[in-house]
Amino acid sequence: MTYSFNLIEQPWIPCVDTEGSVIELSLRETLVQAHNLRSIAGDSPLETAALYRLLLAVLHSALRGPENAAAWNELWQAGKWEAPWLHDYLGTWKHRFDLFDPERPFYQARDDRVEAKSIISLVMDMVSGNNATLFDHHLEETGVLLFPPKAARVVVTAQTFGLAGFCNPKQKLTFTDAPWTRGIIFFVESDNLFETLALNMLRYDDKYPQDIPLTNDDDAPAWEMADPYSPQREIPQGYLDYLTWQNRRILIIPNGEMKQPSVANITVTPGLRLDASLLDPFKHFRKDDLRGMLPLRFSEDRVLWRDSSVLFHIHNPEHARPPSNFEWVANLADKNHIKQHQTLRLMALGMANDQAKIEFFHQEHMPLPLDYLENDKLVGMLTTALDCAEETRKSLWSAASWMAVLIVAPNSDGKNWKNINRVTKDQASQLYYHWAVERFYWSALELPFFTLLESLPDDSESALNVWETKVRRTAWNAMEKAAELAGENIPALKAAVRARSILGGSLKGLFPELEKEVSV
């Protein structure tokens, strides 16, 4: 008797039901019940994204499509995945979805060149190797014990987000980046899991998705291949090959009772090396004259909505390549397969990393009014609104920075900024960041921006007026917050008066139609 945990039949995918509770379902249950589920909810943004990718791979593989918008619309009108074609497919390939199969364990391959080590080295939301102690207090020396549901999610996530780095320096084995390691992953999100999956099912035929065309008539997902690692290749044979790309040779080693196995150890070596020039359909790329196409990434100091006008500008081939699912959804709306003037949601997931070190995981949601994907004029107005907020931020920075300088060196009043010495500027900068002026400013503008985003298509003039008023008031609120933190000693009070004067003069230039406001 051997260990067995079949992912098609056993619960392992964390889903959010209509009541908001998280339940674990099998692969079959997740798809069949998708119209009665809200979303996927992994233990980290990376796990969530990896599970969405796997579900899309299964659907595309079972359909070998959709080949065009009309075929997609038939799926959409059905309203659920409960269909003979899905059950037939899962039944045919069920044997390739066993996590512990002795011959072809799911998403795994044996490699006897390396010794077994703790599975914690593979768990991206726990600590191991180069991963800093940010998310968990487990250590590689003490290890960790995982049950099959979590072990399965760890394998899928590692094949999707694994970082480049050393595997075994003595044997000159090095890992390369998995497909979604770098850059933000964007999904179009709707009210239930069925709709979310359907909206992100791109056209699939011999030419689409355009950036991952069919290079081999035998394009297939990893579980259908005789050997997913052969032939050695850097360019996927097609979209199905890409969605199930085997970046590592992983083998998880079960132990314990047959009825309730656990996993403590694995072996892992490099797998397929993906061509770095390939453009992922779920990422936004901008063109750089020197470095080529660069994916948009998360920044600790910059919230994603500040880049929304760039994301929504999908008709901009000279400077960027937007997420393909945004273009696809716009096409579906244009053909009236989905309601045109509706607001879906944008879900962004990923991590920030430096070389082979994870800095943080992140997940964001924001409104996605389809009007922006079809109307460049609206995107232009949104760009103007964001530029207004950025120019105001610069004015706020100037005023608060001068307040900090005058606290550090009161005799600097009246001097040109260029004549302030470096030591004073450095000390003032520390004060400025201690006050968290910009963090307060941008966080206070997030909800008003979402309101602007949804109201701008219906009444642009009123929406922009409300936005400008909010931007201006938020700048004053941030200034007053900084002045409060600066203290009530004489130098601080004098510096605050001077800073208010600087900010007021600047805002008067930015908003000449509004009455000057010196405090809120």
- The pLDDT value recorded for residue 316 is 81
For residue 135, the model assigns a pLDDT of 43
**Sorting pLDDT into bands at 50, 70 and 90, what band is 134?**
very low
d(CA 9, CA 380): 49
Q: Tokens at residue 89, please?
A: 């497919």
Report if residue 519 sits inside a domain: no
343 falls within a domain: yes
Write out pLDDT tens, residues 348-359: 999 987 766 788
Element (H or E) spanning 255, and its range? Answer: strand 248-256
500 contacts 479 by C-beta, under 8 angstroms: yes
Domain endpoint, select from 353, 374, 395:
374
Residue with the bigger pLDDT between 213 and 131: it is 213
Question: What pLDDT is attached to residue 385?
Answer: 97
Position 402 in a domain: yes
Give the Cα separation of 517 and 212 in Å (integer): 54
Mean pLDDT of the chain: 92
**CA torsion, points 195, 181, 222, 37, in degrees to nearest 10?**
-20
Residues 340 and 460 reside in one and the same domain:
no
Question: Is residue 517 assigned to a domain?
Answer: no
**209 in a structural domain:** yes
**Cα(292)–Cα(7) distance, integer angstroms:** 40
Would you say residue 52 has pLDDT above 60? Answer: yes
Q: How confident is the model at residue 497 (pLDDT cuts 50, 70, 90)?
A: very high
Residue 382 near residue 453, CB atoms below 8 Å: yes
For residues 282 and 224, membership in a common domain is answered with yes
What Cα–Cα distance (Å) separates residue 355 from each residue in 126, 131, 242, 254?
A: 18, 11, 23, 32
pLDDT of 137 higher than 50: no
pLDDT of residue 139: 47
323-382 pLDDT, tens digit each = 999 999 999 999 999 999 999 999 999 998 776 678 888 999 999 999 999 999 999 999
- Whether 518 maps to a domain, the answer reads no
Q: Coil, strand, or helix at residue 187?
A: strand
How far apart are the C-alpha atoms of 61 and 84, rounded to whole Å? 14
With a pLDDT cut of 90, the percent of the chain lying above it is 80
Q: Are 204 and 65 in contact (CB under 8 A)?
A: yes
Q: Report yes or no on 29 lying in a domain.
A: yes
Q: Can you tell me the distance from the alpha carbon of 228 to that of 247, in angstroms, rounded to the nearest whole number?
A: 10
* Residue 427 shares a structural domain with residue 467: yes
Q: Which residues contact 431 (CB under 8 A, 6 or more apart)?
A: 404, 407, 408, 486
| 366/417 same-domain check | no
pLDDT for 136:
44
So what's the pLDDT on residue 2?
Answer: 87
Cα 306 to Cα 390: distance, rounded to the nearest angstrom: 9
Using 50, 70 and 90 to split pLDDT, how confident is the model at 298?
Answer: very high
Scan for tokens 């590592």, then name that residue.
248
Q: Where residue 126 falls among pLDDT bands split at 50, 70, 90? A: low
Domain boundary among 342, 374, 406: 374
Q: How far apart are CA 157 and CA 210, in angstroms?
A: 25
Report the length, in residues, of the chain: 520
Alpha helices in 219-275 (DSSP H): 239-243
**pTM summary value:** 0.92
Is residue 283 in some structural domain? yes
* Domain count within the chain: 2
Q: Are 136 and 125 in contact (CB under 8 A)?
A: yes
Cα separation, 76 vs 70, whole angstroms: 10
Q: How far, in whole angstroms, is CA 473 from its chain's centroid?
A: 31
DSSP 202-253: ---SSS-STTS--S-TT---GGGSS-TT-S--SS-SSHHHHHT---EEEEEE
323 shares a domain with 197 = yes
pLDDT score of 165 more than 70:
yes
Task: For residue 428, report the phi and psi dihedrals to the nearest 5 degrees.
Answer: -65, -40
Same domain (yes/no): 360, 391: no
CATH number of the domain to which 389 belongs: 1.10.132.100
Whether 504 and 438 map to the same domain: the answer is yes
Let me know whether 362 and 404 are in one domain: no
Same domain for 4 and 112? Answer: yes
Containing domain of residue 422, as a range?
378-510
Q: What angle do CA 293, 295, 298 make, to 5 degrees?
A: 155
